[in-house]
Chain A
């Protein structure tokens, strides 16, 4: 029904445009006076008024319809029984009702469920018709209103441009709304988590075992939510990645900007950028099938015990991913140093290498540091590589050959296949997400501040 509502809106809008144009032309020839706006603006104004209000109505309706109907369904059951249910049971009940309403019956449903399914079907039909008719009504009303306003002196162009302004402002606000959505949803769910697990236990606890009891009488399943091992693991892997990416990226940028001739540069730079364009899931697979096994083989030769999902494998592959990032930011910082400084240093007899080490690098240092911090923020927030190549078990361990877990791995494993927001296990993922968001935000702000404050103005 939503589809046909959109179709009707589109057809009526097109018709409104044509009718508006005809009417505006008629008014112009009838009044023999110069109209304020061109007929096409009158037509556009009619089209906007026909389409936009009803379109918004349908979108909002569709967004809220399921939630409202679910509420109605639950309210048709015994309120005390519903209040006693957990969120998961409620969802299970609602989805059973939906299945029954759509005619897919797996086991004989209870009478109440059957009744609810009947009601659901009724509500759905009512909702569909109500949506369709109200959308049609709003469309026609918008058309009638704007059509009646077509006149010689009506400032249609201003009206259209005002609508455009509003649209553009709303679009610019999407960025703010997204940030707001991220912050509020993380804060809300994390708040629920901290109501069950104290903040200090989460921040300073040393055990991370996010199992929860499947049944209320289970003893072993209390779980522990001390995030220190998780943060430590993130730090270990990020440190390995940076330890690999920074020297390689820095050196290759120095060579490319200072030593390589234009031909080599134009060949190598795009190749490095390919590394940046490869999806991270590909890096993850590479870590699993090539890097980790070869590290185990190397470990066997050296008599070292290398875990099959060692921090080293994940960290190095993440480092490979970050090479182009570090290298291009260093490249930018080096090229931003003015030619005169380079020439001055060379003129007093310094070699190219001395110029780089003693003149260019100090001058470019803020830019390079900023780039390294941004790369670190990427390393902390990187997900797919570690989900595929790092471990799941949190341990207080800084040995790069052992298996560690990271914040992003825990978020993904806690949430895959589970969307009930009523147990500490899933809520913990939001608490971790909040920490991740805050840490990366601080790293980004620090990077920008360093670049801004310590950059010398040449």
Chain B
């Protein structure tokens, strides 16, 4: 490293004066370089973790308010004369609900009604109707009904729309604010936990939109994915690890599996679109197709994990089983596979967690449709959590932005639970040999 080009005299080595100025500054330079490298590394880590914090923090900041919902509680009297008990659905629910809402605000002029009723969800009469259909004894009674406020008022109540914004820039006008304050004064406005987020399916109105459809869609999709990829993956891994003759064919299969693991997910969507929908004519938007597509994507993960798990079981166990007369199949199925199972399950859960977050292939097979009822099975049209997030992220209403963040938090919650189960399995059951 030093300038050693000068001819050396062998019996009289050139002495280096370590305390000389040149050496001091050289050493200082080297240490500075060292310090710089260390600082770069530290900066990189701080940056990466800082970005993670910003990501999670901003999602929480925008999303936590969607876990509550502003509601108004009004008394509505259901006159039995206006409801035909044999045809409950066709009664004039809108009028009855409006009368109840108007009763909470006496002295409302006719011209103000439009603005006033816009403060409450446009589907209020459906909510009341559904409750009455479930409990017919409410007919003829005056009962309290708790109904969601419409999205602008909900945002106003949560402080997202500020009072001091100029009126023409906010979606809540001054009259509505005055009415809202009056309702608050009467104690009619509450902000309970937003159960609708988990019980309702998708809706055009942010205050009514929920994740029930997406969660059950994701559940069916993952179920199909698991039922296909788990047995297939384990069987393929056992064959490749234990039975397959070493040779070109086996190598080819292995190269294939490794390549599949690196194929972009959207290409799997194209495959599903062309083959599952095009050739087989399976229904669009169905969790069955989504699950089959995700299973093909998860398969390489499960095969690779299973092979490593099988490899890690010590040979002595196999030899003991074979030694007392078990066939090769028996040795594997009765002894090796059970011992490898915790590791396989851990890997499978992690693979399924990846599949749960996957959106691109589901977009191509139409699992991003607008569907207002949860699917009842694997053939019904459905959305999944990531595609629901995609749909809501595209919606212009402000309320959907908060709901998107909330949906992301729910999705991340599921992922954390799945990973926690995987870690628990690993620590509780995995054996180190």
Q: Which residues of A contact B (CB under 8 A)?
A: 63-64, 66-67, 70, 157, 161, 164-165, 167-169, 171-176, 178-179, 181-182, 185-186, 188-189, 247-252, 254-256, 258-259, 268, 271-272, 274-275, 277-286, 288-290, 320, 323-324, 327, 351-354, 356-357, 374, 377-378, 380-384, 387-388, 408, 411-412, 415-417, 419, 421, 429-430, 433, 436-437, 440-441, 444
Contacts and interface: CB of A to CB of B under 8 A. Distances in A.
A167 B235 contact: yes
A351 B34 contact: yes
16 contacts: A63-B280, A63-B282, A165-B243, A182-B263, A185-B271, A186-B267, A186-B271, A248-B47, A256-B45, A281-B408, A282-B55, A290-B58, A415-B269, A419-B278, A430-B270, A444-B259
Contact of B412 (A247, A268, A278, A387): A278
B382 to A, nearest CB: 16
Contact of B253 (A176, A249, A408): A176
Given A281-B359, A383-B360, A436-B264, A168 B239 contact: yes
B366 A419 contact: yes
A258 B45 CA distance: 13
Interface stretch (B165-173, B202-210, B295-303): B295-303
Contacts of B270: 182, 185-186, 411, 415, 429-430, 433
Given A168-B238, A282-B59, A353-B38, A268 B327 contact: no
Contacts of B354: 277
A272 B51 CA distance: 10
Contacts of B277: 419
B262 A280 contact: no
B54 A178 contact: no
B267 A279 contact: no
Given A66-B281, A388-B393, A175 B275 contact: no
Interface of B: 30-31, 33-34, 36-38, 40-45, 47-49, 51-52, 54-55, 58-59, 62, 231-233, 235-236, 238-240, 243-244, 252-253, 256-257, 259-260, 262-271, 273-275, 277-282, 284, 296, 299-300, 303, 327, 329, 353-354, 356-360, 363-364, 366, 368, 386-387, 389-390, 393, 401, 404-405, 408, 411-412, 415, 419
A285 B393 contact: yes
B59 A286 contact: yes
A63 B357 CA distance: 28
Q: Which 9 A-B pairs have the closest CB atoms?
A: A255-B41, A381-B264, A279-B357, A251-B44, A168-B239, A185-B274, A383-B360, A66-B281, A353-B34
B366 to A, nearest CB: 7
B401 A252 contact: no
Nearest to A348: B1
Contacts of B244: 172
A172 B264 CA distance: 21
B419 to A, nearest CB: 7
B49 A179 contact: no
Nearest to B377: A3
Contacts of A384: 359-360, 386, 390
Contacts of A63: 280, 282
B273 A419 contact: yes
B421 to A, nearest CB: 14
B262 A289 contact: no
B360 A289 contact: no
A381 to B, nearest CB: 3
- The secondary-structure label for the interface of chain A is helix
A188 B55 contact: no
Contacts of B419: 277
A285 B257 CA distance: 32
Nearest to A408: B266
A134 to B, nearest CB: 19
Given A255-B44, A351-B34, A383 B299 contact: no
B300 A175 contact: yes
B278 A421 contact: yes
A249 B51 CA distance: 13
Contacts of B41: 251-252, 254-256, 258-259
A408 B236 contact: no
Contacts of B401: 289
Given A179-B259, A282-B408, 5 more contacts: A63-B282, A171-B239, A279-B358, A327-B48, A419-B284
A15 B279 CA distance: 36
A441 B299 CA distance: 18
B280 A320 contact: no
Contacts of B300: 175
A167 to B, nearest CB: 6
B31 to A, nearest CB: 7
Nearest to A172: B236
A279 B411 contact: yes
Nearest to A358: B1
A382 B360 CA distance: 9
Given A172-B240, A436-B264, A189 B274 contact: yes
A452 to B, nearest CB: 12
A354 B59 contact: no
Contacts of B58: 286, 289-290
Contacts of A279: 356-359, 386, 411, 415
Nearest to B43: A251
A409 to B, nearest CB: 10
B49 A268 contact: yes
B364 A412 contact: yes
A74 to B, nearest CB: 13
User: Which of A168, A320, A387 lies at the interface centre, i.e. has the most chain B CB atoms within 10 A of its CB?
Assistant: A168
Contacts of B264: 377-378, 380-383, 408, 436-437, 440
A274 B266 contact: no
B357 A280 contact: yes
B266 A381 contact: yes
A285 B394 CA distance: 9
A255 B266 contact: no
B253 A172 contact: yes
Given A279-B411, A320-B51, A433-B266, A441 B236 contact: no
B281 A70 contact: yes
Contacts of A247: 44
B408 A285 contact: yes
B299 A174 contact: yes
A352 B34 contact: yes
B278 A411 contact: no
Contacts of A179: 256, 259-260
A382 B389 CA distance: 17
B401 to A, nearest CB: 7
Given A168-B236, A354-B30, A254 B52 contact: no
Contacts of B233: 171
A181 B271 CA distance: 7
Contact of B363 (A70, A174, A416): A416
A193 to B, nearest CB: 12
B386 A281 contact: yes
Contact of B45 (A255, A282, A382): A255
B58 to A, nearest CB: 5
Contact of A176 (B239, B252, B274, B404): B252
A297 to B, nearest CB: 15
B390 A281 contact: yes
A415 B44 contact: no
User: Which of B257, B265, B270 lies at the interface centre, i.e. has the most chain A CB atoms within 10 A of its CB?
Assistant: B270
Contacts of B238: 168
Contacts of A353: 30, 33-34, 36-38
User: Which of B265, B327, B364 lies at the interface centre, i.e. has the most chain A CB atoms within 10 A of its CB?
Assistant: B364
B42 A255 contact: yes
Nearest to B233: A171
